Amino acid sequence: MKNLTFANEEIQKKAEFLKELIKDGGKFQGAYLIGNTSVTLQPKKNGCPYGAKDDVRSTTEYSILLNGNYADRINKIRIKEEKEANFVPKKVWHTKLFDSKNGSIVAKRSEVENGLPITEIYLFCACASAKSYDYTIQGKPATDEEVTTIKFYKANRSLQASKSQGVSEENAIIVTTIASSNLIELRANNQVVKF
């Protein structure tokens, strides 16, 4: 395990609690969570009226998969699709904290690799399904018209994943990171925890 430092005791306790709750790096498992998360939108160049400064968010219910090896799962799909099993994920902004192969608890790579205090921890998971509601823009409830616009410009994550993974869109694995500070509820290992 890496020599980890945390920005404060609350973040450290949450990391240790989540590690135990999901049995980080243990058995591949399904879980359910509710979070208040940023909405991934198409870029403004595609006509989307919202950018990062608009802080478009929604309450989202996720059915997720934890403790899996992303590259291994993609390569199994590639084999089924009669493609070469040579998928290697690109280096991303986060790194696994406790289990470098199958772990689901991650933090900012820049903090961990530079020995800086960890300011937030995230759950890295594959999304089996997601249902969003209660949209907000800059913290204010979105109007019906704004919700329609948000839904129209929501990014097609399956298509994006399909292209980067080299698999068909219907077999693409959508992965996401959800900040622990955005968790509302998590159900894992026969436990229900509200945050």
- Local confidence pLDDT in tens for the 195 residues of the chain: 468 999 999 999 999 999 999 999 999 999 999 999 999 999 999 999 999 899 999 999 999 999 999 999 999 999 999 999 999 999 999 999 999 999 999 999 999 999 999 999 999 999 999 999 999 999 999 999 999 999 999 988 888 888 899 999 999 999 999 999 999 999 999 999 999
| DSSP letter, residue 156 | -
Predicted local confidence at residue 162, as pLDDT: 85
Check residue 2 and give its pLDDT: 63
pLDDT at 96: 96
The dihedral through the CA atoms of 37, 39, 44, 48 has a sign that is negative
Q: Do strands 183-188 and 175-179 pair parallel, antiparallel, or not at all (unpaired)? A: unpaired
DSSP 3-state of 81: coil
Whole-structure pTM over 0.85, yes or no?
A: yes
Instruction: Give the pLDDT score at 129.
Output: 94
